[in-house]
Amino acid sequence: MRKIILSLHTSLDGFVAGPNGEMNWIKVDEELFDLVGEFTKEADTALYGRVTYQMMDSYWPSAADEPNASKHDIEHSEWYNQSEKVVLSKTMKGADINKTTIISNNVVSEIEKLKSKSGKNILIFGSPTAAHNLMEHQLIDEYWLFINPIILGRGIPVFAKIADKTGLQLVTNKVFPCGVIGLHYTVVR
C-alpha cells in the first residue's frame, strides 16, 4: 500500500498561509531543499488542490531550463515532469492534462484506489484545502511539518477538518540553518 505524505510549512501558531493566502514568510535553505529531494526520490505521484496545482504547474515544468536554475530547481523540475499529478478540484472537471488526473467526486474512494495501486509514495506539498479533506477522512499516513519562526496571528490553519483524534508518533526532528524546525510524524492506526 502506497503512503500519502503531507509536507506543510506552518507558522508557530499553526497557520499554513496568511488570511489572503500569503506565504512570503516561509523560510527555506539548501538543507531543506535537499530533504525535499529525498522525499521525491521515494515518490512518483504529487497530489494537489487546484490552486496549488496551478501555481506549481506555472513554474516547475520549465524551471530547470532557466539560466540560473539552482540544483533544487533542476531536480524538482525533473521529478515534477516525470511524476503523475492528481488534483482534487470541483472546477477542473473534464480537464485533459498530460500526466494529470482530476478527482472531482468520490474523493475518499478515488484516493483509496490511488493508494492501493502499485508504485511509490504520494506527496502533498502545501495544498491546505486538499490536505484538510484528506485529514477529515484519515487518508494521510505521514506528516512533515516545517515550523517557521513566525507568529501570524491569523490565516489558514494547518488542521481545520479533523473528524476524530489522530494519534501520531514522532519519527524524527531537524533544525535547519534558516531557523525552521522539521517534525516528521507517522499516523498511529
**Average pLDDT for 18-35:** 93
**pLDDT computed for residue 160 by the predictor:** 85
Res. 5: pLDDT tops 80: yes
Boundaries of domain holding 18: 4-188
Q: Which amino acid is at 102?
A: I
114 vs 95: CA distance, rounded Å: 19
CATH number at residue 154: 3.40.430.10
**Neighbour-count burial of 4, counting CB atoms closer than 10 A to its CB (0-12 exposed, 13-18 middle, 19+ buried):** buried
pLDDT of residue 118: 95
pLDDT tops 80 at residue 14: yes
Question: Using one digit for the tens of pLDDT, what is the confidence trace for 66-118?
Answer: 999 999 899 999 999 999 999 999 888 666 788 999 999 999 999 999 999 99
User: pLDDT for 122-158, tens place per residue?
Assistant: 999 889 989 999 999 999 999 999 999 999 999 999 9
Q: What is the pLDDT, as a whole number, of residue 180?
A: 98
pLDDT of res. 96: 72
Q: What is the pLDDT of residue 95?
A: 65
**Phi-psi region for residue 106, left (φ > 0), alpha (ψ -120 to 50) or beta?**
left
Helices 30-41, 71-82: inter-axial angle, 10-degree rounding: 20
Q: What percent of the chain has pLDDT over 70?
A: 98
- Looking at residue 68, what is its pLDDT? 93
Give pLDDT, residue 181: 98
Please check the confidence at residue 168 and state whether its pLDDT lies above 80: yes
> What mean pLDDT is reported for the chain?
93
Q: What is the DSSP string of the chain?
A: -PPEEEEEEEETTSEEE-TT---TT----HHHHHHHHHHHHTEEEEEEEHHHHHHHHTTGGGGGGSTT--HHHHHHHHHHHHSEEEEE-SSSTT--BTTEEEE-S-HHHHHHHHHHSSSSEEEEES-HHHHHHHHHTT---EEEEEEES---SSSEES-S---S--EEEEEEEEE-TTS-EEEEEEEE-
CB 89 within 8 A of CB 49: yes
- pLDDT in the model for residue 3: 97
Q: How many domains, the chain?
A: 1
**pLDDT surpassing 90 at residue 48:** yes
